[in-house]
Amino acid sequence: MIWLTWRQHRKQALFGLAGLAVLAAVLIPTGNRMRDVFASSGARGCLDALGGAQLVAFRAAQECNSTVERFADGYETWAYGGVLLMFLPLLAGMFWGAPVVAREVEQGTHRLVWTQDVSRTRWFLVKVGLVGGGVLLLATGYALLTNWWLWPLTRTLVVPMDYLIFDQLGVVPVAYTLFAVALGAFAGVVTRKVLPAMGATFVAFLAVRGVVEFLVRPNVMAPKEYRVATTTSEPMLPNPAKRDWVIDTAVHNADGSVKEPNGTAFCLRPPPGADASPPPGAAQGGRGGGCTAEGGYNLWTYQPSGRFTTFQLIEAGIFLVLAVALVAGTVHLVRRRLS
Amino acid sequence: MTAALEATGLGRRYGKHWALKDCTLHLPAGRIAALVGPNGAGKSTLLHLAVGLLGPSSGTVSVFGATPGDPKVRGDVGFVAQDTPLYPDFSATELATLGTKLNRRFDRALMLERLNGLNVAVDRPVPALSGGQRAQVALALALAKRPRLLLLDEPVASLDPLARREFLQALMGGVADEGTTILLSSHLLGDLERVCDYLVLLQAGRVQVLGGVDELVAQHRLLTGPLWTRDAGSINGVAAVVRQSHTERQTTLLVRTDDSAPAPGWPDPQWTVSDVSLEDIILAYLADAGAGTLPGPRNLHRVGGSA
């Protein structure tokens, strides 16, 4: 069975390895270059200097932010291009998962292979186990590469827990890939044809990913809040080095009502010897100035970056459980439904 | 006698449609049986049930006394599926490796020798072979398991006459010394008549005719005589009329007799009695779904003459 699986899937395995090699050939040089620039632009140094405090002085944050922007300007397209890597698990599901059973049924070879001594349960489990194992290795390689490559960007341009970025980091890409392959195999047993199975895999994968991403993930743990009074002599901003996932930023009146959604504002009480005007960019979105009545505050709603691992494990767990359930469902259908 | 294949009240349903219903049959070991019936009669369904690809919706089926698919008998049953599916891009040698790896008992050398003997290029990918050669590869793969029961689902349907003859020769040669029981479905009645000694005729999901070819041929006679307008079943010694046709002056009856060796001069001088071929019998029964003959006391349907 192992021989047969290898004989049937060796082209896919070589294709996968070649794809991974191409990916490495692109990511390793560009990643090295990005790390060099990250250090030489001073972005890395200023972020390290900000330390781990929740809030940092407005001026220090702004200075570091402008250094970071100089670095990030050159890499913005890279960060968004990197989003394409998110589709690799889907490709694995469509091209490796969907044909596992569907191609056999389409060619009629299931009638050949299921009438040998080996039972069809064993046949399927060895096949899906080996394909899954190969996919696990490739996905791990791919995840290691993207994690390494994205590191300077996740410290500057994007936040690790943000939508679409989280999905490329940590262990979730591996879980998505295993899920996609199990989904493809299941779709193949249901549709019995390769192309419809690929289509169904595409649709179902995006649907499940979307539901988990936008409906489940934000509700795993309640977000936390920062409050900073608008009227202050020492404005503070969330520490950009901490990489918290800021979900919402708004200026509130003292009674809690929203004065400015999507904004940050400060009303500087001129301290002795300080610059009276707010530094450039301080009142983003805070049209009309940040001067609320006494007691107004900026409110940042955020997921702390420290939750990254917890969120990763929960999401990877969800997709692994789904993958196991799909494999179990496929075994059931292979045993009962097909002939 | 041990039954290679036995079915009792066997049925298989797809949704509301019964592809096979109330099928009771007994295939004695060592027979080479033809499985005949119009398209959609349930031939493939019966073969798939017998090889364990399908499970029954009702009734039971057993091969050598065990449920098909049971590990005890898996190795004893060989199967050549319709259109002889093989992995494209595999060569015959690789298919032999597949057989070796997936079976406890597999005679790899036998398979390759057999194919070499037929001048089949064993190292070329299967799609590069002719249809006849592909069918030979599928047959050699099934025979290399040295099965005690070999089921073949229309293996020669797509082959030209020469390839068909070669295939059937290979089949007969392959099982000659082994006492292998064969159940072979086909529409090519002439081919079946040449190789088979047992008949299973399915019609609309049911077994219509079942029995040894010699017995069936001996039981049936063609009677030709003057126009006969009375009930043909009343003729002495006629158990049933399978088919009748009339012209203005003549009546032709294909009848099943009570006695498989009627005395000379039977039934009376006005009838000319002639023997019938298996093909004649099959065609007569296919034309009339109501007629039936089943051996054994428990299944003896005494169906009267035709309309």
Q: For residue A113, give how far its alpha carbon lies from the nearest alpha carbon of chain B (Å).
A: 8
* Closest approach of B303 to chain A, Cα-based (Å): 35
What does the alpha-carbon distance between residue A111 and residue B82 come to, in Å, rounded to a whole number?
9
In this predicted structure, what is the pLDDT of residue A330? 95
pLDDT at A284: 43
The candidate with the shortest Cα–Cα distance to A248, out of A217, A219, A225, is A225
Mean pLDDT of B194-199: 91
pLDDT above 50 for A283: no
Q: How confident is the model at residue B1 (pLDDT cuts 50, 70, 90)?
A: low
Could you write out the DSSP letters of every residue in B76-140? Answer: TEEEE-TT----TT-BHHHHHHHHHHH-SS--HHHHHHHHHHTT--TTSBGGGS-HHHHHHHHHH
C-beta of residue A180 within 8 angstroms of C-beta of residue A173: no
Angular region, B42: left φ>0, alpha ψ -120 to 50, beta rest: left
pLDDT tier at A270 (50, 70, 90 boundaries)? low
Is the pLDDT higher at A235 or at A206? A206
Q: What is the C-alpha separation between B100 and B141, in angstroms, rounded? A: 10
> Which of A8, A106, A112 should one mutate to test binding to chain B, selecting the residue with the greatest count of B CBs within 10 A?
A112
- Cα B220 to Cα B241: distance, rounded to the nearest angstrom: 9
Amino acid at A192: R
Q: Which of B79, B86, B102 minimises the CB distance to A4?
A: B102
* Confidence class for position B178, pLDDT limits 50, 70, 90: confident
Match 């000379």 to its residue by tokens.
Answer: B264
A/B interface, count of CB pairs below 8 Å: 68
Strands B58-63 and B3-14: antiparallel
Buried b (16+ CB within 10 A) or exposed e, A215-232: eebeeeeebeebebbbbb
For residue B125, list its beta bridge partners: B91
Instruction: Identify all chain A residues contacting B71, using CB atoms and an 8 Å cutoff.
Output: 117, 119
- Which residues 6+ apart lie within 8 Å of A316 measured at CB? A170, A171, A172, A174, A175
Mutate to test the interface with B, among A117, A120, A127, A334 (most CBs of B within 10 A): A117
Tell me the chain B residues in contact with residue A338 when contact means C-beta distances shorter than 8 Å: 53
* B30-68 pLDDT tens trace: 999 999 999 888 999 999 999 999 999 999 999 999 999
Q: What is the mean pLDDT of chain A?
A: 87
Count of CB atoms situated within 10 Å of the CB of B28 = 15
Out of B69, B74, B101, closest to residue A3 by CB: B101
Task: Using DSSP bridges, classify how beta strands B181-185 and B149-153 pair: parallel, antiparallel or unpaired.
Answer: parallel
Structure tokens that stand for A269 in this block? 């009480």
Of B14, B17, B25, whose CA–CA distance to B47 is shortest? B25
d(CA A79, CA B287): 74
**pLDDT tier, B294 (very low <50, low <70, confident <90, very high otherwise):** low
Interchain proximity B85–A112, CB inside 8 Å: yes
Q: Do B55 and A336 touch (CB under 8 A)?
A: yes
Is the Cβ pair B53, A7 closer than 8 Å? Answer: no
How many Cβ atoms are within 10 Å of A327's Cβ, its own excluded? 21
Label the pairing between strands B149-153 and B77-80: parallel
Close Cβ partners of A307 (under 8 Å, ≥ 6 residues apart):
A161, A221
A271 versus A7: the higher-pLDDT residue is A7
**Dihedral (Cα; B155, B105, B172, B50), 10-degree rounding:** -50
Using the Cβ of B102 and the Cβ atoms of chain A, whether some distance falls under 8 Å is answered with: yes
Q: Does the pLDDT at position A186 exceed 70?
A: yes
**Is there a contact between A197 and A233 (Cβ–Cβ < 8 Å)?**
no
Among A115, A119, A120, A338, the strongest candidate for a mutation testing the B interface, having the largest count of B CBs within 10 A, is A115
Cβ neighbour number for residue A6 with a 10 Å cutoff: 12
Q: How confident is the model at residue A281 (pLDDT cuts 50, 70, 90)?
A: very low
Chain A residues inside the 8 Å CB shell of B155:
none
Residue spans of the domains in chain A: they are 2-220+316-336, 224-305
CA of A173, closest CA in chain B: separation in Å? Answer: 33
Contact in structure between B2 and B29 (CB atoms under 8 Å): yes
Q: Name which of A109, A115, A117 is nearest B79 (Cβ-Cβ).
A: A115
Q: Tell me whether A121 touches chain B (CB under 8 Å).
A: no
Using the Cβ of B57 and the Cβ atoms of chain A, whether some distance falls under 8 Å is answered with no
pLDDT > 70 in chain A, percent: 92
For residues B207 and B231, which has the higher predicted lDDT (pLDDT)?
A: B207
> Taking CB atoms and an 8 Å cutoff, what residues of chain B touch A112?
81, 85-87, 138, 141
pLDDT at residue number A307: 93
Q: How many residues does chain B have?
A: 307
- Among A1, A7, A111, the residue with its CB nearest the CB of B94 is A7
Would the pLDDT of B124 be above 80? yes
The confidence score (pLDDT) of residue A286 equals 40
Q: Which residues of chain B does A118 touch, with a Cβ-Cβ cutoff of 8 Å?
A: 102-103
Among the partner-chain residues A8, A118, A339, the one whose CB lies closest to the CB of B48 is A339
> Per DSSP, what are the bridge partners of residue B251?
B225, B246
A69 contacts: CB under 8 Å, gap ≥ 6: none
CB-based burial label for B207 (10 Å; 0-12, 13-18, 19+): buried
DSSP E strands in chain A: the ranges are: 55-57, 224-229, 231-232, 236-238, 245-252, 258-261, 267-268, 297-303
Q: What is the mean pLDDT of residues A244-261?
A: 86
Q: Does B36 touch chain A (CB under 8 A)?
A: no
CB contact under 8 A, A1 and B52: no
- Is the per-residue pLDDT at A126 higher than 90? yes
Query: According to the 3-state scheme, what is the secondary structure of A169-192?
Result: CCCHHHHHHHHHHHHHHHHHHHHC
Q: How far does B166 lie from chain A, in Å, by closest CA? A: 22
DSSP A2-59: HHHHHHHHHHHHHHHHHHHHHHHHHHHHHHHHHHHHHHHTSHHHHHHHHTT-SEEEHH
Number of neighbours of residue A141 by Cβ within 10 angstroms: 17
Token code pair at residue A307: 């939750």
The answer to whether A302 touches A223, Cβ cutoff 8 Å, is yes
Inform me whether the C-beta atom of residue B14 falls under 8 Å from chain A C-beta atoms: no
Contact A323, A184 (CB under 8 A): no
pLDDT band at B298 (very low <50, low <70, confident <90, very high): very low
Q: Taking CB atoms and an 8 Å limit, are B98 and A114 in contact across chains?
A: no
The C-alpha atoms of residue B269 and residue B271 are separated, in whole angstroms, by 5
Is B176 within 8 Å of chain A by CB? no
